[in-house]
């Protein structure tokens, strides 16, 4: 049969495949041998790579550590001299180590040049640090002086507070207010009612001036017989005089005096003046009624507008005349209207927001320098200098301007007068302010 194979053919096939298997086994053995020989080499290469990787990691860690160290130094206070010095030394060492390394590839001449410049920078740094140390010393000295001054100021304040507490409760109006300027805060003012009477002639032709009225009073009324305690008799503008007594009953005695009535002298209790308020930066208009109406409409309720519409008027205006847009206005108001406006502190007038406060100014004559009247109504025949208190010339022509000032008012009243007549702490000025406050109705 065709499918059967003879024994000879099977032997040939077996031998053939046997030889083939032998060669396969031999090649496999050689391959395994070669693999065993290559395995240590590959292992060595792997170890080398791992070692290199480890060295690179350690180097990176070292560099990161150095960078972190530098970052820590950089994050230190820049104002600390020690921190700056350490940072500079670290950078210098790195530069020098790099430049002195023969494998850096930098020429020797270039290395010397860079090292020279590093030395110069180091010298500049030392000079800067020295200057900074000097400045720190000066700052510390200033701080010490400031602390000392602060302690002295606190001690002075405590001493002043103790002195104020030790003062008697009876003080003048100016002392209560601490008046040193034309404007003052009067919200806490408490005035004691003065015992004052105004004596004036019914017929001005009979007594032509206040001196004649005063002489008539002295001739007609005896303080001893009437138990009068007169504190002051003061002349005022015109033919009137003001008599201030220690007791309220003394004023009634003068009012009921028949001798004074028979002589044609009238005795009245003076009517107090309305308070005044100054408004800074108000719009300048020709019609004062527009400003008053704006104050009422923009700052008061409907009830207040109806109540105070007729209780305020513009007394006068001050400020720079060249400013055509705004000025300072002085309002004369009732005591009720004044209280409402002062509490607001700011008044809205048209397109302006204006500061408002009490206006207190003692009138002084620029001719005779006396308080109580203006130059227009002055009766003095000669000018009195406001600097040297000498009659016959004005301040502009004073030959003694290089000498210390003398107050003519305090000199007349036999008080300390080694100050200017314009001094706001002048005793005569304070007295004039007290009289003004006494004659003003603040409703308290």
Virtual torsion, Cα 112, 115, 119, 125, nearest 10 deg: 150
> Whose CA is closest to 350, among 325, 378, 324?
325
Average pLDDT, the chain: 75
Given this model, what pLDDT does residue 384 score?
92
Q: How confident is the model at residue 69 (pLDDT cuts 50, 70, 90)?
A: very low
Q: How confident is the model at residue 173 (pLDDT cuts 50, 70, 90)?
A: very low
Other Cβ atoms closer than 10 A to 264: 12
- Check pLDDT > 80 for residue 80: no
Q: CB–CB of 243/226 below 8 Å?
A: no
Q: CB–CB of 83/72 below 8 Å?
A: no
241-282: pLDDT as tens digits: 888 888 878 888 888 888 888 888 888 887 788 889 898 988
Given this model, what pLDDT does residue 415 score?
87
- Check pLDDT > 70 for residue 37: no
Given this model, what pLDDT does residue 306 score?
83
Given this model, what pLDDT does residue 71 score?
45
98-112: pLDDT as tens digits: 777 777 777 777 877
d(Cα 431, Cα 364) in Å, to the nearest integer? 12
Report the percentage of the chain scoring pLDDT > 70: 74
Beta strand pairing call for 352-359 and 276-283: antiparallel
- Check pLDDT > 50 for residue 2: no
Range of lowest pLDDT (3-7, 182-186, 346-350, 378-382): 182-186
Q: CB–CB of 438/193 below 8 Å?
A: no
pTM of the predicted protein model: 0.48
* β-bridge partners, 318: 328
* β-bridge partners, 234: 242
Q: Which two tokens stand for residue 76?
A: 């230190």
- Check pLDDT > 70 for residue 143: yes
- Check pLDDT > 60 for residue 60: no
Q: What's the burial of 388, exposed, middle or buried (CB within 10 Å: 0-12/13-18/19+)? A: middle
Virtual torsion, Cα 398, 400, 403, 405, nearest 10 deg: -40
């Amino acid at each position: 049969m065709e499918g059967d194979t003879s024994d000879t053919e099977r032997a040939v096939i077996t031998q053939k495949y046997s030889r083939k298997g032998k060669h396969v086994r031999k090649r496999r053995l050689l391959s395994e041998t070669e693999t065993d020989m290559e395995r240590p080499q590959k292992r060595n290469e792997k170890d080398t790579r791992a070692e290199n990787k480890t060295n690179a990691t350690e180097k990176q860690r070292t560099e990161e550590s150095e960078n972190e160290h530098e970052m820590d130094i950089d994050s230190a206070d820049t104002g600390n001299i020690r921190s700056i010095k350490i940072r500079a030394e670290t950078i210098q060492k790195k530069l020098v180590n790099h430049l002195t390394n023969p494998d850096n590839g930098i020429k020797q001449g270039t290395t010397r040049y860079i090292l020279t410049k590093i030395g110069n920078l180091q010298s500049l740094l030392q000079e800067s640090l020295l200057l900074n140390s000097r400045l720190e010393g000066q700052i510390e000295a200033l701080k010490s002086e400031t602390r000392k001054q602060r302690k002295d100021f606190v001690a002075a304040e405590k001493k002043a507070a103790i002195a104020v507490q030790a003062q008697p409760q009876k003080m003048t109006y100016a002392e209560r207010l601490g008046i040193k300027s034309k404007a003052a805060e009067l919200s806490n003012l408490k005035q004691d009612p003065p015992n004052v009477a105004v004596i004036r002639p019914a017929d001005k032709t009979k007594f032509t001036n206040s001196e004649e009225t005063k002489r008539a009073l002295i001739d007609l009324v005896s303080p001893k017989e009437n138990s009068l305690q007169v504190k002051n008799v003061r002349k005022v503008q015109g033919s009137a005089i003001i008599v201030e007594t220690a007791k309220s009953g003394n004023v009634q005695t003068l009012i009921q005096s028949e001798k004074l009535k028979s002589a044609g002298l009238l005795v009245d209790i003076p009517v107090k003046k309305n308070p005044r308020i100054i408004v800074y930066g108000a719009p300048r208009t020709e019609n004062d009624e527009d400003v008053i109406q704006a104050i009422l409409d923009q700052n008061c309720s409907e009830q207040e507008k109806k109540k105070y519409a007729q209780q305020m008027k513009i007394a006068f205006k001050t400020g720079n005349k060249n400013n055509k847009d705004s000025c300072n206005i002085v309002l004369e108001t009732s005591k009720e209207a004044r209280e409402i406006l002062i509490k607001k502190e700011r008044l809205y007038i048209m397109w302006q927001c204006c500061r408002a406060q009490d206006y207190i100014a003692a009138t002084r004559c620029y001719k005779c320098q006396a308080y109580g009247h203006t130059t227009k109504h002055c009766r003095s025949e000669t000018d009195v200098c406001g600097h040297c208190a000498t009659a016959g010339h004005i301040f502009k022509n004073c030959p003694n301007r290089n000498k210390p000032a003398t107050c003519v008012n305090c000199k007349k009243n036999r008080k300390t007068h080694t100050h200017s007549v314009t001094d706001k702490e002048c005793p005569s000025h304070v007295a004039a302010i007290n009289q003004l406050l006494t004659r003003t109705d603040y409703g308290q």
